[in-house]
A and B are shown apart, each in its own frame.
Chain A
Amino acid sequence: MFFNLFFELKAARVPVSLKEYLTLLEAMSLNVAEYNVENFYYLSRSCLVKDERNLDKFDRVFGSVFKGLEPPDNPDTAEIPEEWLRKLTELHLSEEEKAKIEALGGWEKIMEELKKRLEEQEKRHQGGSKWIGTGGTSPFGAHGYNPEGVRIGQEKSRHRRAVKVWDKREYRNFDDSVVLGTRNIKVALRRLRQFARQGAPDELDLDGTIKSTAKNGGWIDIQMRAERRNTVKVLLLLDVGGSMDDHIRTMEELFSATRTEFKHLESYYFHNCMYEKVWKDNRRRHTEHIPTAQLINTYGPDWKLIFVGDATMSPYEIVYPGGSVEHWNEEAGQVWMERMLDHFKHSCWLNPVPERHWEYTPSLQMLQQVMGQRMYGLTLDGLDKGMRSLNR
């Protein structure tokens, strides 16, 4: 009955499963929604969407699948143009879009045009490519696709019922199309766990108790021991800026996953290749930096070193002194890389560039060699391999 909704949701990459669909049907047969469209919307949302990031997608799909189900709008709504104009203050334009506005002859011109069309237009309009309305491709209106578009908010009319709940799309902000959640990353990072007993003894040591009780002639002698804790220490070095901008989302995910997974985690930033300095705070990178030598002195060889970067640069940045794009480096990047690798016994490099493109980038090949083939793709599989290599 609601097959369309289910498949459209699947097509829109909302993770829905058969089980959830059956739950919805079960709820419908038990009459939870009481034959009311709005209640059905709430019910299906509660059954099928399990993450607030997908609520917006759901609203969009629901709106398109059940278009025309609700009673037609009151013809009175046709006379609201002045209200639309007031809503113009709600412009949501990114820098890029602003640049594109210039294409139509600048901001002033668009507004002028808008005024003209508002005068021409006499009733609410949906679809089409010129009139102001919803779902069309004209630059004016809501939910349209024209990048030069001016969004006229349509949250509330004077009659309230003219706008459907799912048309309000209140969950807009949460939408993101992350395929790979932090959960998966965390599970992969678990490989790196290293348990040791540390801290106050607060756990019963059963074997020890039996042994010492036996020794004690049968009188109980309870032995306690400390709880097992993850003691792995991780030093994370992240490449920022330049070509890394394409991978920001993946990087943020990895970073937030590592943050919660490891107790002992230190992270520093570098640009393109390791040189004599790194920094902690990207905003103050030019004033506050830490010599790489200090890193080597501060963190012992038992720390696991993870580089994250795309390793995409000019080969000179690796092999020549003074090759860095940002500053004059006395010693070549390769020298610093080797120093780090000498000190930290366990290390690997995670690369967000898809593995099949690696062979086309000479600098990437060079670093792969420096790392002793311990460069892995920043995918679940690569992460898994990388974590295994760190334990070896």
Chain B
Amino acid sequence: MKFTGTDSYVATDDLMIAVNAAITLQRPLLVKGEPGTGKTVLAHEVAKALDRPLIEWHVKSTTKAAQGLYEYDAVSRLRDSQLGDEKVKDISNYIVKGKLWDAFTADQSPVLLIDEVDKADIEFPNDLLLELDRMQFFVYETQETVTAVNRPIVMITSNNEKELPDAFLRRCFFHYIRFPERDTMQEIIDVHYPEIQKTLVREALNVFYEVREVPGLKKKPSTSELLDWLKLLMSDDISPEVLRNKDPKKLIPPLHGALLKNEQDVHLFERLAFLARREQGS
């Protein structure tokens, strides 16, 4: 059972080692990296490659750790008691299972994705320490202990909005997805758009890495933005020659909306274009 990338996901050597170590040792894998470098997709692809079910838990600022285990629905029990429903005698009818419970009791060991763990409250990771370490928890209402039948493969992503506690980090494997180099990027594009013209890709990559190098960009375009942009270039039938055009008046790349995601960055480019034009004029 080894992960070696899939036909729709290019995994670098170091990423494969980290994933395989996490699978073999049954420890969580913490994945960080620039937005849009494929952190969430990784879990999907690992599940696909190993043919495991995927259970996703998207964390929000209001998410509590206990919600991943279970919730006791007191209100519907109260209502049922009013209506004299027979169900009311058994408390377990009102325990709503969370994602961790689902993952622990699944027939086949699943891939559990805890997405954007840094969005939650600062104590959130600490509250999950024991559950992720021992893969078991206690349900107070029914006095039972839920233990993982098959230990799930746990993938955790973080966008670095908050620092994670040391005790939590010690229990994980860690991988930082670096921004892909040109060669890797070419592979990624080949995987996604096999029929695209080579020259278009070359020119597009030139423009893309140039844009990334412009100092002072608020949000540098990332892999997912490049892929979107290529899709647009293809559907609009833009020729490689247009991209190669070094006319300073057209410093802003065509269909830039896919690459530059906020108006400050677009303004920055317009200013640069203006400066370039003035330099040429003088």
Does residue A19 face the partner (Cβ distance < 8 Å to B)? yes
Task: Report A181 CB to chain B, min CB distance, Å.
Answer: 5
Cα A76 to Cα B122 with chains together (Å): 54
On chain A, the number of residues with a Cβ less than 8 Å from chain B's Cβ atoms is 37
User: Are A47 and B122 closer than 8 Å at their CB atoms?
Assistant: no
User: Are B162 and A47 closer than 8 Å at their CB atoms?
Assistant: no
Does residue A45 face the partner (Cβ distance < 8 Å to B)? yes
- Contacts A46-B173, A47-B173, A50-B30: A220 and B79 contacting too (C-beta < 8 A)? yes
User: A-B pairs with the 6 shortest C-beta distances?
Assistant: A183-B163, A50-B169, A42-B17, A46-B18, A42-B14, A52-B176
Please list the residues of chain A having a beta carbon within 8 angstroms of any beta carbon in chain B: 15, 17, 19-20, 23, 26-27, 30, 32-33, 38-39, 42-43, 45-47, 49-52, 55, 170-171, 181-183, 186-187, 190, 204, 206, 209, 219-220, 222, 260
Chain A residue at minimal CB-CB distance from B27: A23
User: Are A39 and B170 closer than 8 Å at their CB atoms?
Assistant: no
Does residue B210 face the partner (Cβ distance < 8 Å to A)? no
Q: Which residues of B contact A26 (CB under 8 A)?
A: 25
Chain B residue at minimal CB-CB distance from A183: B163
Task: Report A89 CB to chain B, min CB distance, Å.
Answer: 14
What 4 new A-B contacts, CB under 8 Å, besides A32-B25, A52-B32? A27-B21, A32-B21, A47-B21, A219-B82
Chain A residue at minimal CB-CB distance from B33: A52
Task: Report A380 CB to chain B, min CB distance, Å.
Answer: 14
- If over half of A's interface residues share one DSSP class (helix, strand or loop), that class is named, otherwise mixed; here it is helix
Chain B residue at minimal CB-CB distance from A182: B163
User: Are B163 and A55 closer than 8 Å at their CB atoms?
Assistant: no
Does residue B175 face the partner (Cβ distance < 8 Å to A)? yes
Chain B residue at minimal CB-CB distance from A24: B21
User: Are A183 and B162 closer than 8 Å at their CB atoms?
Assistant: yes
Q: Which of B238-275 contact A (CB under 8 A)?
A: none
User: Are A42 and B163 closer than 8 Å at their CB atoms?
Assistant: no
**Can you give 17 contacting A-B residue pairs, CB < 8 Å?**
A19-B170, A23-B27, A26-B25, A27-B21, A32-B24, A32-B25, A38-B13, A39-B17, A42-B14, A50-B169, A171-B176, A186-B162, A187-B122, A190-B122, A204-B75, A220-B78, A220-B82
Cα A270 to Cα B97 with chains together (Å): 53
Does residue B165 face the partner (Cβ distance < 8 Å to A)? yes
- Contacts A38-B13, A183-B162, A183-B165: A32 and B20 contacting too (C-beta < 8 A)? yes
User: Are B75 and A46 closer than 8 Å at their CB atoms?
Assistant: no
Does residue B114 face the partner (Cβ distance < 8 Å to A)? no
Q: Which residues of A contact B176 (CB under 8 A)?
A: 52, 55, 171
User: Are A49 and B162 closer than 8 Å at their CB atoms?
Assistant: no
Cα A45 to Cα B169 with chains together (Å): 13
User: Are A49 and B174 closer than 8 Å at their CB atoms?
Assistant: yes
User: Are A170 and B178 closer than 8 Å at their CB atoms?
Assistant: yes
Does residue B172 face the partner (Cβ distance < 8 Å to A)? yes
User: Are A30 and B173 closer than 8 Å at their CB atoms?
Assistant: no
User: Are B163 and A20 closer than 8 Å at their CB atoms?
Assistant: no
Q: Which residues of A contact B91 (CB under 8 A)?
A: none
Chain A residue at minimal CB-CB distance from B177: A52
Task: Report A112 CB to chain B, min CB distance, Å.
Answer: 31
